Amino acid sequence: MLFTVIAWITGVSALMAFCYKLPAARRSGNDPALVALCVYFLASGLSFVVDLEPFRTVLSDVLHYPNITTVLSQAAVIVLTAAQQVALVHWAGPPDKAHAESRRRIHVCSAALIVVVTVFFLLAPLKHYESARTVSVMYQTEPHYAIHMGLYVSLCAAGQIEALRLSLRFVGLAQRSWLRRGMIVMSVGASLVLLYCGCRLATLAGRGIGLDMDAFDPVGWLSGDLGSLLQIVGWTLPAWGVHLSAAHQWPAQYRDHRRLRPLWYAVSEAVPAITLDPPPFRRRGPLPPRDIGYCLYRAVIEIRDGQLALRPYADTEAVRRRAEALHLTVEPGSPTGEALLLHTALQARRTGPPAPPTSSAAFPHTPHDDFAKEVARLSAVARAFVQVEARARRYGPARHGTASGRGARLVR
């Protein structure tokens, strides 16, 4: 029962991955790596599905050859072995060399496929409506079938060794973290498939000399099925792993966006030209209508652009007077100091053209290549800005502000 469940999960997952990747392969203009990946997923799915009920019985009846699904499954495994090597070769090497390497591997695997299929029909294993798993267990004592099974497993082992070597080499070359993780998972899967091959060969050899090898059967099949499933997970991990990262980052990004929103709203209301999208109607509202990471990035950029636009209104003497009016003790360069500077500049802009400042001030900033630190700094400024607004409402309008209209909106 367990093996059947794993086989269904692996087969369906592989076919779903094939359907997902096929449009991308068609759009890419027949990119060899993507085409090979699609072939891998299709062959991997078929290698499991054709030997499951009810497909096994239907195929045997349609083709008039009981147990035909055994060789169909084995043929699909050889095809997927070639396909994964072709994909890895194209990812890890220059195009000219990759094409030559791919052709060589395709030729070798094609010859192996012909040999395995020919040996299967020539040796004519006993014909029963049995799965590949049951047949390999029941007939491992049959000399003819043992030859066929030994040849097939040896070819699979050789292919997986090469796939493991290529995937481990690609781990060191991969630049994207999820691609590297995917290759690691794929390598673990290939190692488990190699364990399956070792168990099958040990079982064949042991039963050939009369030893009881039943204990190897569950280990072999479980390692083979899980290894195949892990390989599919490894190949698809770069596609859906980024969504895991986005889901992991979403709470923190949403929290930061909510913290920045009052500050961004005030700046974008005063300087509407900085906003790429229309400003929100409310400072605190529902979820952003677009990607939260994009919204956070735009908020940071537009706050910085707003600060640049407000530089002519930044006056340290006005800030000092404003701090006295609000009963604030401000340290230079602190979040409260920057928030008060911004608050004062916003009030000055709303009163009219900038007057020559008594002593000009500059807004602090973080290097643009450290986005996380900039978000943290602006979040602290936004919290301080909300507190400054609260004190402004408590102690009344700024001396240089207005008591009515648009200019009073910030300090009421």
DSSP string, 178-219: HHHHHHHHHHHHHHHHHHHHHHHHHHHHHHHTT---TTHHHH
Query: How far is 321 from 32, CA to CA, in rounded Å?
Result: 69
167 closest CA partner among 73, 71, 231: 231
Task: Work out the average pLDDT over 42-70.
Answer: 86
Q: The whole model's pTM is what?
A: 0.66
Per-residue confidence band for 110, with pLDDT thresholds at 50, 70 and 90: very high
Please write the tens of the pLDDT for every residue from 209-220: 777 777 777 888
Please tell me the predicted confidence (pLDDT) of residue 109.
92
Task: Work out the average pLDDT over 108-125.
Answer: 85
In order of 55, 92, 236, the CA distances from 191 in angstroms are 29, 20, 18
Place of tokens 């390989």: 231
Which helix (DSSP H) or strand (DSSP E) does residue 307 occupy?
helix 292-309
3-state SS assignment for residue 315: strand
In order of 82, 112, 163, 210, the CA distances from 108 in angstroms are 9, 6, 14, 34
Task: Work out the average pLDDT over 67-79.
Answer: 89
Top mean-pLDDT range of 309-323, 330-344, 377-391, 396-410:
377-391
Query: How far is 197 from 41, CA to CA, in rounded Å?
Result: 21
333: tokens are 């360069």
Please write the tens of the pLDDT for every residue from 6-46: 888 999 999 999 998 888 888 877 788 899 999 999 999 99
For the chain, what is the mean pLDDT? 81
Identity of the amino acid at 298 = R
44: tokens are 């991997």
Please tell me the predicted confidence (pLDDT) of residue 373.
87
Query: How far is 12 from 26, CA to CA, in rounded Å?
Result: 22
Q: Are 283 and 261 in contact (CB under 8 A)?
A: yes
Other Cβ atoms closer than 10 A to 273 = 9
| pLDDT, greater one: 170 or 140 | 170
| pLDDT, greater one: 2 or 20 | 20
Mention every residue, 6+ apart, whose C-beta is less than 8 A from residue 53.
Answer: none
Task: Work out the average pLDDT over 313-331.
Answer: 82
Per-residue confidence band for 76, with pLDDT thresholds at 50, 70 and 90: very high
Per-residue confidence band for 368, with pLDDT thresholds at 50, 70 and 90: low
What is the DSSP secondary structure assignment for residue 279, as one 8-state letter? Answer: P
Q: Are 297 and 378 in contact (CB under 8 A)?
A: no
Please tell me the predicted confidence (pLDDT) of residue 83.
93
For residue 304, is pLDDT > 70? Answer: yes
Which helix (DSSP H) or strand (DSSP E) does residue 372 occupy?
helix 371-395
Query: How far is 20 from 248, CA to CA, in rounded Å?
Result: 23
Per-residue confidence band for 141, with pLDDT thresholds at 50, 70 and 90: low
In order of 48, 235, 252, the CA distances from 5 in angstroms are 11, 21, 38
Per-residue confidence band for 206, with pLDDT thresholds at 50, 70 and 90: confident
